[in-house]
Amino acid sequence: MSSWIRWHGPAMARLWGFCWLVVGFWRAAFACPTSCKCSASRIWCSDPSPGIVAFPRLEPNSVDPENITEIFIANQKRLEIINEDDVEAYVGLRNLTIVDSGLKFVAHKAFLKNSNLQHINFTRNKLTSLSRKHFRHLDLSELILVGNPFTCSCDIMWIKTLQEAKSSPDTQDLYCLNESSKNIPLANLQIPNCGLPSANLAAPNLTVEEGKSITLSCSVAGDPVPNMYWDVGNLVSKHMNETSHTQGSLRITNISSDDSGKQISCVAENLVGEDQDSVNLTVHCANPNYPDVIYEDYGTAANDIGDTTNRSNEIPSTDVTDKTGREHLSVYAVVVIASVVGFCLLVMLFLLKLARHSKFGMKGFVLFHKIPLDG
Ligand SMILES: *[C@@H]1O[C@H](CO)[C@@H](O)[C@H](O)[C@H]1NC(C)=O
Ligand SMILES: *[C@@H]1O[C@H](CO)[C@@H](O)[C@H](O)[C@H]1NC(C)=O
Ligand SMILES: *[C@@H]1O[C@H](CO)[C@@H](O)[C@H](O)[C@H]1NC(C)=O
Ligand SMILES: *[C@@H]1O[C@H](CO)[C@@H](O)[C@H](O)[C@H]1NC(C)=O
Ligand SMILES: *[C@@H]1O[C@H](CO)[C@@H](O)[C@H](O)[C@H]1NC(C)=O
Ligand SMILES: *[C@@H]1O[C@H](CO)[C@@H](O)[C@H](O)[C@H]1NC(C)=O
Ligand SMILES: *[C@@H]1O[C@H](CO)[C@@H](O)[C@H](O)[C@H]1NC(C)=O
Ligand SMILES: *[C@@H]1O[C@H](CO)[C@@H](O)[C@H](O)[C@H]1NC(C)=O
Ligand SMILES: *[C@@H]1O[C@H](CO)[C@@H](O)[C@H](O)[C@H]1NC(C)=O
């Protein structure tokens, strides 16, 4: 009795109070789910009982979810789903491990906000399918999927393609179940009409003068039919694209010299993977050399409406110079002809005068000649 009082007396109450205060403070600070341990940067859930039934979430206004870099979950048979908004608060997450658990389904957009994710370990879960869409925006260095009962289908072909592309020595032993429930090694998986797409970019001439325009066209092909899109990087020039089904064009207008050397890609993407075809632009400054400007204006007349004013200014001006040249020439000709005609007239006048004189003169001359005869 006295011992009971000793333990449940005021001292005990104070102790309990202190404990609750500590627990309360700790819970308020970390608001960690039961079966889990939390720190400022990690969430660790490996206790199988009672276990968690949903992806661990921190209470609002508790620890900053952005500071969590690692989530480790093991032996949680009742954790089956990762919902679209379960992981989004953990924007700093780098390592996600869910092993020996009941994970069956991961929402397509579950990792949309987790651009820092690098290592994912889903070893020994219940995943039957996993799409490339989950991870396509991420730059993962590790995705471990061994021990999952995948269903053989085109949906998981990307995993085989990824493994083949890596061809690292530590390739995972992955299998899928075919319609007869036979375990097929992923390396032997063959699915008809399920392959990588291809992209083909065509550009007329990638050496363009500043201020001009260029149109690139791209066609994509594949089965399943791929989507196509342009990756223009940090292109500053104005550009617009038109895409219809498997064909597309990208028009870049008033090209800036800041875009010289920039890479433009056309990407074909389907659920198996993607392919891209790229080109590099070369933009050189407009040549101030006069004859070149005229040449360029003629050459791109069909392309560039913006130059019309310059063209209409410059070309007639050359015509004018030509015309005035020709006019000068004809003036010279007229002057020369006039001079010649005038000179001829003068000569004729002189000759006429001379002829009149020479009638005498001639007579005289004759006379002169006759004089000696006469004389
Ligand atoms: C989260 O990280 C930031 C920057 O690293 C730090 O200033 C802040 O105190 C951290 N928050 C918590 C609750 O640890
Ligand atoms: C994440 O996992 C990798 C490999 O599993 C490990 O090397 C790294 O230290 C882990 N990083 C963190 C922050 O836990
Ligand atoms: C992934 O988890 C399994 C099970 O815990 C472990 O054996 C394996 O080493 C882990 N892989 C990596 C790369 O961390
Ligand atoms: C499943 O795989 C086994 C072994 O490769 C094969 O004999 C069987 O025909 C396959 N079943 C189907 C429906 O493809
Ligand atoms: C592309 O056009 C530039 C002038 O804009 C020309 O100098 C160059 O030779 C052309 N290149 C090809 C491959 O036609
Ligand atoms: C292509 O056009 C679509 C729709 O107009 C637009 O959303 C997209 O940003 C464009 N892409 C590029 C690279 O201009
Ligand atoms: C072309 O771009 C330059 C700057 O890069 C700008 O000053 C000019 O107004 C633009 N011309 C047209 C026709 O948009
Ligand atoms: C194109 O540009 C990229 C970088 O922007 C560069 O890595 C690549 O080597 C270039 N390709 C060619 C053919 O110049
Ligand atoms: C005409 O050419 C001059 C230089 O040659 C340039 O400064 C001007 O912007 C051009 N005008 C148009 C409308 O392209």
Query: pLDDT tens digits, residue range 71-117?
Result: 999 999 999 999 999 999 999 999 999 999 999 999 999 999 999 99
User: Measuring from atom 1 of ligand 7, which residue has the nearest CA?
Assistant: 254
Ranges in the chain, pLDDT < 70: 1-31, 60-62, 167-169, 287-337, 341, 344-345, 347, 350-351, 354-375
Predicted pLDDT of residue 350: 67
| Ligand 1 contacts CB of residue 231 (under 6 A) | no
Which of 230, 259, 266, 276 has the most ligand 6 atoms within 8 A of CB, as the residue to mutate? 230
Query: pLDDT tens digits, residue range 188-235?
Result: 999 999 999 999 999 878 899 999 999 999 999 999 999 999 999 999
Peptide bond into 224 cis (omega under 30): yes
Rounded to 5 degrees, what are φ and ψ at 103?
A: -60, 120
Q: Give the C-alpha separation, 234 to 59, whole Å.
A: 39
Task: Tell how strand 183-185 and strand 175-177 pair up.
Answer: antiparallel
Predicted pLDDT of residue 177: 95
Predicted pLDDT of residue 332: 62
| Ligand 5 contacts CB of residue 100 (under 6 A) | no
Predicted pLDDT of residue 291: 43
| Ligand 1 contacts CB of residue 64 (under 6 A) | yes
The token pair that represents 123 in the structure block: 């070893």
Ligand 9 centroid to residue 306 C-alpha, Å: 9
| Ligand 2 contacts CB of residue 42 (under 6 A) | no
> Cβ(264)–Cβ(232) under 8 Å?
yes
Which of 25, 38, 64, 68 has the most ligand 1 atoms within 8 A of CB, as the residue to mutate? 64
Q: Give the C-alpha separation, 289 to 312, whole Å.
A: 18
This prediction has a pTM of: 0.66
| Ligand 3 contacts CB of residue 99 (under 6 A) | yes
Q: Within a 13 Å sphere around the CA of 164, how many CA atoms are in the beta-carbon half?
A: 12
Predicted pLDDT of residue 342: 72
Q: Give the C-alpha separation, 259 to 312, whole Å.
A: 29
| Ligand 6 contacts CB of residue 241 (under 6 A) | yes
How far is CA 156 from its chain centroid?
26
Q: What share of the chain is helix, strand, coil (3-state, %, to 5)?
A: 35, 25, 40
Predicted pLDDT of residue 300: 38
Predicted pLDDT of residue 349: 73
Predicted pLDDT of residue 330: 60
The helix (H) or strand (E) run that includes residue 343 is helix 308-374
